[in-house]
């Protein structure tokens, strides 16, 4: 596997870019049973710092027994990585099993970012060691499927950038409400040479129709709050100062209703609207195949060189920078 090395170095590909590209290949290798052979690292796989492995990235506020807030708090960009997955798994399992819960709202404590893309920099073992989820899918799409099917109402309150995983979590939620001034949604993957893996190909056409879904997916550009509402990407967009009061009022109202009536009604709506697990699995298989292509490895490497995950301008204007990767 090769990624073009920055010309200024004149040496072999740096370990940072190897890790980024190899991480993209992880799902394919792990699910196929093939061994992963990577360059030796000076840092043992189990030697990551306590702050990296144990720092909470997700907070759960139980406002009432029936209404919870799940808040992503992983500054500076709310990047979702292998260290996030065990934390998120605990939250999802509790959402599925708490007998009193009726409504959960997903939001963010990081200004400018709801939830963004996968973390490309941790050592490989931190992802290869993750077991498949309850559905048999990789833990990330597994949790998204389970959120969609949980017997409670899930609401995404989107303020800031919801890119990749963030967009896919919003799509997996039952409802989505966005800040008109501050929300940005996108599926950036095609612009970087690979296929999204968290189910947007199955979910977006059901929300906005085939043509608009293809525009979002293949354009790989940023979608603001107003356009997201017009296209059906979100239920509604609000002026920023009105977003929280609306979502809180709606969640509080629903949390006071009968839990069984909520669960039964949602289950019947799910029959008519949710993609099947095989549809989500097909998207994941396409992701697995596409990330192994040299073009995807090259484009991710170029974004990492520009400053993906380190440069605020890259993360804030990811749609712009992804567009610079297009062949002229």
Domains, in order of start, for the chain: 23-28+52-323 (3.90.226.10)
Confidence at residue 259, expressed as pLDDT on a 0 to 100 scale: 97
pLDDT of res. 282? 85
Can you give the pTM of this predicted structure? 0.85
The 10s digit of each residue's pLDDT in 41-98 is 333 334 344 455 578 999 999 999 999 999 999 999 999 988 899 999 999 999 999 9
Question: Token digits for 35?
Answer: 């061994």
CB 118 within 8 A of CB 80: yes
Q: What is the mean pLDDT of the chain?
A: 84
pLDDT at 19 over 70: no
State yes or no: pLDDT of 29 exceeds 60.
Answer: no
Query: With bands split at pLDDT 50, 70 and 90, how would you rate the model's confidence at 127?
Result: low
Rounded (5°) CA angle 263-264-267: 85
C-alpha to C-alpha distance for 269 and 272, rounded to whole angstroms? 5
pLDDT digits (tens, 9 = 90+) for 172-204: 999 999 999 999 999 999 999 999 989 999 999
Taking Cα atoms as reference points, which of 182, 187, 189 lies closest to residue 167? 187
- How high is the pLDDT of residue 322? 94
153 vs 33, which has greater pLDDT? 153
Question: Parallel, antiparallel, or unpaired: how do β-strands 153-163 and 175-186 relate?
Answer: parallel
Task: Report the pLDDT averaged over residues 205-213.
Answer: 97
CA distance 27 to 124: 11
User: Which residues, at least 6 apart from 188, have a Cβ–Cβ distance to it below 8 Å?
Assistant: 117, 163, 164, 220, 318, 319, 322
Decide: 26 and 36 in contact? Cβ < 8 Å. yes
* Long-range contacts, stretch 82-85, CB < 8 angstroms, 24+ apart: 82/119, 82/122, 82/126, 82/127, 82/130, 83/52, 83/53, 83/57, 83/119, 83/122, 83/126, 84/57, 84/58, 84/119, 85/130, 85/139, 85/140, 85/143
Confidence of residue 132 (pLDDT cuts 50, 70, 90): confident
Asked if the model's pLDDT at residue 323 lies above 90, the reply is yes
**Looking at the predicted structure, is the pLDDT value of residue 298 above 90?**
yes
């Amino acid at each position: 596997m090769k990624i073009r090395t920055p010309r200024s170095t004149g040496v072999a590909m740096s370990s940072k870019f190897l890790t980024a590209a190899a991480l993209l290949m992880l799902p394919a290798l792990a699910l196929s049973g093939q061994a992963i052979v990577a360059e030796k690292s000076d840092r043992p796989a189990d030697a990551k710092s306590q702050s990296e492995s144990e720092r909470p990235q997700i907070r759960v506020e139980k406002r009432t027994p029936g209404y919870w807030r799940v808040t992503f708090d992983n500054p500076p960009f709310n990047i979702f990585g292998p260290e996030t997955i065990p934390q998120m798994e605990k939250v999802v399992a509790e959402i599925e099993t708490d007998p009193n819960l009726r409504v959960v709202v997903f939001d963010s404590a990081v200004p400018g970012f709801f939830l963004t893309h996968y973390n490309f920099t941790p050592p490989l073992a931190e992802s290869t060691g993750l077991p498949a989820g309850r559905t048999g899918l990789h833990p990330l799409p597994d949790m998204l499927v389970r959120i969609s099917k949980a017997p409670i109402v899930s609401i995404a309150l989107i303020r800031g950038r919801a890119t990749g995983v963030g967009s896919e979590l919003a799509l997996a939620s039952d409802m989505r409400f966005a800040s008109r001034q501050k929300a940005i949604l996108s599926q950036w993957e095609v612009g970087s040479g690979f296929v999204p893996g968290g189910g947007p190909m199955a979910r977006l056409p059901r929300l906005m129709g085939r043509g608009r879904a293809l525009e979002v997916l293949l354009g790989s550009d940023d979608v603001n709050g107003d356009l997201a509402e017009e296209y059906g990407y979100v239920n509604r967009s609000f002026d920023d100062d009105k977003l929280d009061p609306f979502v809180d009022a709606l969640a509080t109202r629903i949390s006071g209703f009968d839990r069984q009536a909520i669960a039964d009604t949602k289950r019947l709506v799910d029959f008519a609207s949710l993609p099947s697990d095989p549809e989500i699995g097909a998207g994941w298989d396409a992701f697995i195949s596409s990330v192994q292509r040299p073009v995807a490895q090259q484009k991710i490497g170029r974004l990492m060189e520009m400053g993906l995950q380190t440069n605020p301008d890259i993360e804030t204007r990811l749609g712009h920078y992804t567009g610079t990767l297009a062949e002229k």
